[in-house]
Structure 1
């Protein structure tokens, strides 16, 4: 019992010495009151630790503090990992779409050099299977003719002109089949129109 009382008094003296040293080092600003509050909590913990031990012999403030910090760190790590994963998926999806679009345009230009092509890809991340999937592929074909006017404004009224005309069915079918084979996707998700 004397040993326990001695350890308690040494703990209190050490805590008071530590708190005094920290208060002397702290600058006089708004942060000082928060630091004093935390230091006061430390002192209260040192004071009540032996009293709690009387009621619960297995109580150890260090163990409880370590458990709380471990749980806090675990939740923070899980949250950080989740945010990193979402950002990584979003970035990967954007890069995938851009690379796929430029690759399709290049392959179409090599296969059908007489036209110019603009490809727009819609892709998504399938979390269930952990892979990227192609949802929609829109191919715009320009035959070297002048590009259609998309919007005309005369006075205060504006008129829109539909610029998504269909190209001939044979060429459209060829392009769909070619891209379907190249991308290993269904022809149904590929749309071909004139620019």
Structure 2
């Protein structure tokens, strides 16, 4: 923690130094105030960007928003379902499930996957099954390639696939607060 604060302070000092050098080098003209304004915006962004990452727990802004939307929707549906149970009305669990599927599809589109199945128990997620969008690409192989080329393609695609699957599982765990055992990838 102290090391990251030290790096942040050094980053700010170096940024301030560079902005002052740019200010001294620029000749006095009508454009200089605009360039200074842009440099100041960059400097403010340099100061604020580490603070944003501290508050987002090393998650991208999109993932943080998706997580907050999911948590809010879950609380809303739970409170509405409690009210519906007390008044004998229908619950919103289907609406929550549809909204959750839409949020999941946004996240899965980034990785080239699609939602295959989602099993829920009330507002809790039991299992998520996802699959690759274009799973029939394996059928389109080059007939003239030799065995070593095929082995290299299989090795390369399987290692890339493992990295992609690990990243998507990690993101889904962060966004949805579920365990890794609840995610199945075909």
> TM-score interval w.r.t. the shorter chain?
0.3 to 0.5
**Larger proportion of strand:** 1
With normalisation by structure 1, the TM-score equals 0.36
The structure showing larger relative contact order (alpha-carbon pairs under 8 Å, at least 6 residues apart) is: 2
With normalisation by structure 2, the TM-score equals 0.38
